[in-house]
């Protein structure tokens, strides 16, 4: 097995957003099969054998503690989504039970990072409804929020890429579901009317 030839960084583009990833960056990385969270230890080119063409890879330290070491080598072409784990060193307290207190705490945290307060509040209000609707874990929701703020994009982009929730697709599907419901409801009502008519006729006879 050949060694990895180091490069300086890789660029990754998704939904019009391009980011550079260097050694030492803490990232969330997803392939078709699995999601990884860890620190990039190396970016480079890898050859499985002498005859194989080199492929770009990232090496991730996915260790959860100092007592348990784990790592992954991921082909760049296999990556479906990757972003920096902005909240890796942030203490996220999802145990705050009072919704207003939680909102104020995190709006203060995001404005403290330098983001515009009105944009933070608008993004929070949009995300709060979706968190309840789709039962999104609080930590992932906060990751989506900071992604939307950092890259100045709609919350639907990180929701799709980080949580796998395609809000646009769901919204397009709603009219179809409504039509089907109306059709089913109409058939049920028609069936009920036929039953009532038959029942009344049987009583007359």
List the single range of 12-26, 156-170, 191-205 with lowest mean pLDDT.
191-205
pLDDT band at 195 (very low <50, low <70, confident <90, very high): very low
Q: Is the pLDDT confidence value at 81 over 80?
A: yes
**pLDDT at residue number 130:** 86
Q: Is the pLDDT confidence value at 38 over 60?
A: yes
Question: For residues 43 and 21, is the Cβ–Cβ distance under 8 A?
Answer: yes
% of the chain with per-residue pLDDT over 70: 79
Specify the 3-state DSSP secondary structure of 33: coil
Higher model confidence: residue 201 or residue 134?
Answer: 134
Q: How far apart are CA 56 and CA 9, in angstroms?
A: 11
Most confident range (mean pLDDT) of 5-9, 11-15, 179-183 is 11-15
The predicted model gives 154-166 an average pLDDT of 88
Q: Annotate 42-88 with DSSP letters as a single string.
A: EEEEE-SSSSSPPEEEEEEE--SBTTB--EEEEEGGG-SEEEE-TTT
pLDDT band at 25 (very low <50, low <70, confident <90, very high): very high
Q: Annotate 78-113 with DSSP letters as a single string.
A: G-SEEEE-TTTTS---TT---HHHHHHHHHHHHHHT
Tell me the per-residue pLDDT of 105-135, one tens digit each, with 9 for 90 and over.
889 989 988 999 999 999 998 888 888 888 8
Q: How far apart are CA 62 and CA 158, in angstroms?
A: 22
Q: Nearest CA to 136 among 100, 175, 94? A: 94
List the single range of 69-83, 92-106, 107-121, 189-203 with lowest mean pLDDT.
189-203
Q: How far apart are CA 103 and CA 124, in angstroms?
A: 8
**pLDDT at residue number 169:** 65
Higher model confidence: residue 158 or residue 98?
Answer: 158
């Amino acid at each position: 097995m050949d060694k990895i030839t180091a490069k300086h960084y890789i660029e990754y583009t998704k939904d019009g957003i391009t980011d550079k990833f260097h050694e030492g960056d803490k990232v969330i990385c997803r392939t078709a099969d699995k999601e990884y969270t860890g620190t990039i230890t190396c970016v480079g080119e890898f050859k499985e054998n002498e005859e194989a063409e080199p492929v770009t890879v990232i090496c991730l330290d996915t260790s959860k503690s100092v007592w348990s070491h784990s790592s992954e080598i991921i082909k760049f072409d296999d990556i479906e989504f990757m972003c920096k784990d902005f909240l890796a060193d942030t203490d996220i307290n999802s145990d705050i039970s009072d919704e207003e207190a939680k909102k104020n705490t995190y709006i203060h945290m995001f404005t403290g990072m330098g983001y515009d307060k009105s944009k933070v509040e608008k993004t929070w209000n949009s995300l709060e409804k979706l968190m309840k609707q789709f039962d999104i874990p609080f930590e992932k929701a906060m990751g989506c929020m900071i992604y939307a703020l950092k890259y100045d994009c709609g919350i639907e982009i990180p929701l799709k890429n980080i949580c796998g929730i395609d809000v646009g697709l769901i919204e397009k599907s709603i009219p179809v579901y409504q039509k089907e419901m109306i059709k089913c409801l109409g058939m049920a009502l028609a069936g009920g009317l036929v039953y009532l008519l038959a029942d009344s006729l049987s009583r007359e006879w």
